[in-house]
Amino acid sequence: MIIKTRVFEMADGKYQNLSDLARAMGLSVSQVYRVRMGKRGINEKFIIGAKKAFPNHRLDELFYFQPEPDKSDLAKTSTPNRIIT
């Protein structure tokens, strides 16, 4: 299973930009950017930061699980999870 996040969709309207979101999460902009672009996985610091930025939301509102793709599927696609704005 892979953990995914809804944080970036939820940040729309609440935070002006990625810098504001990162500040609210207590993380660097580069850390948040790498997660957003799929270059870094979601770790404990990101989860704690998401809860800081969205204190009124439950973890299951901020995160969800996705089954890992088959290895044969990985060869077919190389696009990371991206939120296109």
Q: Which two tokens stand for residue 9?
A: 């969709």
> Tens digit of pLDDT for each residue in 57-74?
999 999 999 998 877 765
> How far is the C-alpha of 12 from the C-alpha of 18, rounded, in Å?
10
Rounded distance between C-alpha atoms, residue 76 and residue 45, angstroms: 31
pLDDT digits (tens, 9 = 90+) for 1-49: 999 999 999 999 999 999 999 999 999 999 999 999 999 999 999 999 9
Burial status of residue 7 (CB atoms within 10 A of its CB: 0-12, 13-18, 19 or more): buried
3-class state of residue 8 by DSSP:
helix
pTM of the prediction?
0.78
Where do we find the tokens 């729309």?
12
Task: Please report, for the chain, the start and end positions of each structural domain, with discontinuous segments joined by +.
Answer: 2-69
Name the CATH topology of 2-69.
434 Repressor (Amino-terminal Domain) (1.10.260)
pLDDT at 80: 57
Does 75 have pLDDT greater than 70?
Answer: no
